Amino acid sequence: MNKLSGESHPPSPPARAWGIYALIAGLIFISDQLTKHLIAGKLYEGESLKVIPHFFHIVSIRNTGIVFGLFQDPNGWTHRAAFIVLTVAAVTLILYYSKRKKEAGDLDFYFLSLVLGGACGNLSDRIMKGRVVDFLDFSFYGHHWPAFNIADSAIVMGVFLLVLFPLIAPPKPVSSPDDSVSMNGRRK
């Protein structure tokens, strides 16, 4: 809002971009937390509901390890502390990298919001409960994938898009120092 005239102006493009970024990360975080709360409240730990037999089940698993159940240690405070410290470091790097991507005008800036929302969702569980609720369980022709949650899905999707996007995006035009000088020798 303009203090002198009382007029309201729309947010600047960088502020709008950060708003969209925060909205995406926030929606991931909230949907992750709501679904975990729902599963923990409706299913006993270890319970499984068949959705599509031999393919997809909703389960209630508590994961003290990292993504896809790696490095499980149900009573290990050292593991818990290490995962919290590593996740806080990852969130810090995601925010730093997001700032750099935004300054460069890169679209993949938004993909980092998926990773951030997922990391914050699992970080919240680790800090508050010491473990994460996993509930999406897939198997295919006898091959079973470890159970995961919305946060894990967002992290994997964000990383996948970060890797894929540079491979399929048109190259950015390269500007030279001469591009900023007009015909009469003055800067544009």
Task: Please give the positions annotated as active site.
Answer: 134, 152
Residue 106 per-residue DSSP state:
-
CB distance 158 to 119 below 8 Å: no
37: its two tokens: 């709360």
Identify the three-state secondary structure at position 133: strand
Rounded Cα gap, residues 35 and 169, in angstroms: 34
Rounded Cα gap, residues 106 and 111, in angstroms: 10
Give the side-chain half-sphere CA count within 13 A for 124.
Answer: 17
